[in-house]
A and B are shown apart, each in its own frame.
Chain A
């Protein structure tokens, strides 16, 4: 009896390796985790981890035309301003509060903390906090053609923000966290 007859065939090994690679690959990709919790009586505790690489793969296979729309003309006109302002914000020193708005029903703060742009909105009925890496966001928007809004842009922006918590929403009826790892 030869070795080949006793053990697995080459084809079996290749298939097994491919399956293993498919299972292990997401561990090395970026992950988007959406965590939604609502209080009783309709208590929901939902945590959805999604590997960014697989989303990218799925979107690459989807028909491009169906998922891409033309960027609004007003947005296209703001390209230079947006890029220049992001660059300047990125160059600003850490720990700076750029904007603070205080009104009877809401407080807004835009600051740079730990190299990230932080937008904090504290309203009567909800508190929303966004964290964005200014340098990576600038790079992602500089790569964008500013003509079409599609999945590529969404993924580029998602990749740009991580790792860390991207959005947190604390409202009376729900708590949402969107993080990238």
Chain B
């Protein structure tokens, strides 16, 4: 009788312990390899540190974890574009070809893949791989400010593996989450 009551209690405690176990620290990694300078920079930062720093930095268009997109001087309707990407089915979503390069945005299996290739200038190749849930965190307010802190929070929750890879003759950049 006593054993019977102990087993369910132990099982419940085990489940509770698993549920409340501390989540492992998530890390944002950045690797920059400047080919000309033969310099390599590696950053391995806990998301808590990135979020804290973002919230604390004021200036250079950044205020309270939000970055002003007005500096880009480009009139882009971000919410509309992101909503369109979210709505679009798997497969080819957007393909833009200009004289100096091309951009292809595809969505496959919950992952949005952005590929940009420069055909002029530095001939850079950029690959951005984002989980679809991250698109919800691209919040641009009425003052054209992107909520970078929310984006980092979403990256911490949903980002896994490689997010950005830039390959250019003078530098290579890799950003990933683990």
Please measure, in the bound complex, the distance between the C-alpha atom of A98 and the C-alpha atom of B48, giving whole angstroms: 13
B122 CB to closest chain A CB, in angstroms? 21
CB < 8 Å A-B pair total:
57
Question: What's the dominant secondary structure at chain B's contact region?
Answer: mixed
Q: How many residues of A contact B (CB 8 A)?
A: 20
Minimal beta-carbon separation of B176 from chain A (angstroms): 15
Cα of A93 to Cα of B25 in the assembled complex, Å = 8
Among A77, A85, A96, A103, which residue has its beta carbon within 8 angstroms of that of B39? A103
Indicate whether A99 reaches chain B with its CB closer than 8 angstroms: yes
Bound-state Cα–Cα, A93 to B47, Å? 12
Interface size class of B (residues with CB under 8 A): 10 to 19
Whose C-beta in chain A lies nearest to the C-beta of B43? A99
Candidates B39, B48, B56; contact of A101 at CB < 8 Å: B39
B114-171: which have CB < 8 Å to A?
none
- Main DSSP-derived SS at the A contact region: mixed
Q: Could you tell me the distance between the alpha carbons of A89 and B56 in the complex, rounded to whole angstroms?
A: 14
Q: Are B49 and A85 in contact (CB under 8 A)?
A: yes
Q: Known contacts being A80-B56, A81-B56, A84-B55, is A89 close to B49, with CB within 8 Å?
A: yes
**In the complex the two chains form, is B57's CB within 8 Å of A100's CB?**
no
Nearest-Cβ distance from residue A55 to partner chain B, whole angstroms: 33
Docked CA distance A99–B50 (Å)? 13
Q: How far is the CB of B5 from chain A (nearest CB, A)?
A: 39
Given contacts A91-B48, A92-B46, A92-B49, contact A85 B56 (CB under 8 A): yes
- A89, A98, A101: which contacts B44 (Cβ < 8 A)? A98
Residues of chain B touching chain A, judged by Cβ–Cβ distance below 8 Å, are 25, 37-46, 48-49, 52-53, 55-58
